[in-house]
Chain A
């Protein structure tokens, strides 16, 4: 088996996780900027975090032979402090030329507040001005449907945005259709306690097909599973999905989307 992990917060994971992922067939890992589990209080904290994502974590991954890529942003959970969020967004351009940076993400909404939407639109503007890919987080549970609609409406109102260069992550049964029908890519995020199980992901693949769809673990500092993608592949195989169909979902599709960034290159 070979696969790409297109969404993992590796700064929160151990070297055992790296070893397990590589052993399972992981060919590359992509790390969006994330909420640390607590609010950061200065732009300097984000400067250090962006250095970690673009300098230090790639070196840690390289020790396991794993190419590491990053996305940059301030998370919607930290959007209520508009001054800090604006300062962080102003900081991002100096990191965009770093060789492992794929684009802006994971931006989006959390509680669907006005400030979150303002910060989301500032990020989208930054991505549009620099012609970067966009990775989007959608809210949780009761907030997901509304947040996904707000995000899709906002993106569709910006003529600079090509939906084929945007992935809207954490879709579930009630949001996947509206994302795909609008021409965006969609991400199925596999969590043990929330979002989506491997069985539900396989159900959605059977219902909606494999086009413009990827699977990720989004493993972070909370309860999450770094091997969720290969385990979902096993679920697909147990349902007698063809090996080539599984490969398309967990390897070829991520490459298809990510290769739109000139920085996404796999060795040899």
Chain B
């Protein structure tokens, strides 16, 4: 993530994203937290 270059923002956003594929059962909140809870 610390490498310079045009794909750095993309790499940061991917690292914070929910990588799962299935819809969740119910939305229990309307807000996003900023990072997927299980992000490294």
Contacts and interface: CB of A to CB of B under 8 A. Distances in A.
Interface in B21-35: 21, 23-35
Contact of A173 (B9, B25, B27, B32): B9
Main secondary structure of the interface of B (DSSP, over half): loop
A101 B6 CA distance: 39
Contacts of A150: 21, 23
Given A141-B33, A145-B18, A146-B18, A114 B13 contact: no
A138 to B, nearest CB: 11
Interface residues of A, number: 28
A117 B27 CA distance: 11
Contact of B23 (A114, A140, A142, A172): A114
A141 B10 contact: no
A252 interface: no
4 closest cross-chain pairs (CB), A and B: A111-B27, A140-B32, A141-B32, A145-B17
Interface of B: 6-7, 9-10, 13-14, 16-21, 23-36, 39
Interface of A: 35, 77, 79-80, 110-117, 139-146, 149-150, 172-174, 200, 203, 207
